Amino acid sequence: MITLADHGENLGENGIWGHGLGLYQELTHVPLSIWGMDDVETREEIVSLIDVHRTILGMVGVEDDRYEGRGRDLRSPVDHEPQLTEYLGLNMWREQKLEAAGKADEFSTYDRELYGIAAAENYYGYEDFDGSFVESGTALLEAPRNRMDELVDDLEYLEDADDIDVSDPVMERLEDLGYA
């Protein structure tokens, strides 16, 4: 059994309620629990949601070469590789909430890409909406902001989303959730 969250919540921190705005630590530092493995242990490693995918494939014995190099199997300790966090702007649902609150003039503040980097020793650095780079914890990385920029440059984006075949029911659900 795997228990995790894909995001945390702001409960008034940073003047925000909810989870749709920014890369604050309250949103990105979430627990992950994997039960049913042979060893019982508590580990404090920086991991990513994509690692959960790779771990599940390993647990059920599926080899998947299509995603070679994507994610790590968390059944064994993993290297403390820095992990990128990303905020890709407003979705339709969040835009509607801002508009309903009479804050449509704030779209441009929140509708932009932001990135962060999580690393060993509880280090976290992220871009904030005011253009600052906010850091907490102990940076064992040399120049963490530069490392974050390198990770962003290494991202591979799908150039033409029209090439993806998505069924009508899935597309309708994505639209309902504000993702399409």
Neighbours of 142 (CB within 10 A): 7
Percent of the chain with pLDDT over 70: 91
CA distances from 129 to 24, 70, 144 (A): 10, 29, 19
* Mean pLDDT on 90-117: 85
Whether the per-residue pLDDT at 12 is higher than 80: the answer is: no
CA distances from 5 to 14, 49, 97 (A): 21, 9, 23
Q: Give the bridge partners for 116, in sequence order.
A: 85, 126
Lowest mean pLDDT among 81-85, 91-95, 102-106: 91-95
- Cβ atoms of residues 4 and 32 within 8 Å: yes
Q: How many helices (H) and strands (E) does the chain have?
A: 6, 8
Percent of the chain with pLDDT over 90: 19
The reported pLDDT for the residue numbered 2 is 85
Neighbours of 117 (CB within 10 A): 28
What are the pLDDT digits (tens) for 111-138? 889 999 999 878 999 999 999 999 999 8
- Cβ atoms of residues 5 and 18 within 8 Å: no
Q: What is the pTM of this model?
A: 0.75
- Cβ atoms of residues 140 and 120 within 8 Å: yes
What are the pLDDT digits (tens) for 44-73? 788 888 888 888 888 888 877 776 667 888
Q: How far apart are CA 17 and CA 94, in angstroms?
A: 12
The reported pLDDT for the residue numbered 115 is 96
The reported pLDDT for the residue numbered 105 is 85
The reported pLDDT for the residue numbered 37 is 67
Q: Distance between the two ends of the chain, CA-based, in angstroms?
A: 31
Q: Please, which pLDDT band fits residue 158 given cuts at 50, 70 and 90?
A: low
Whether the per-residue pLDDT at 160 is higher than 80: the answer is: no
Q: How far apart are CA 130 and CA 135, in angstroms?
A: 14
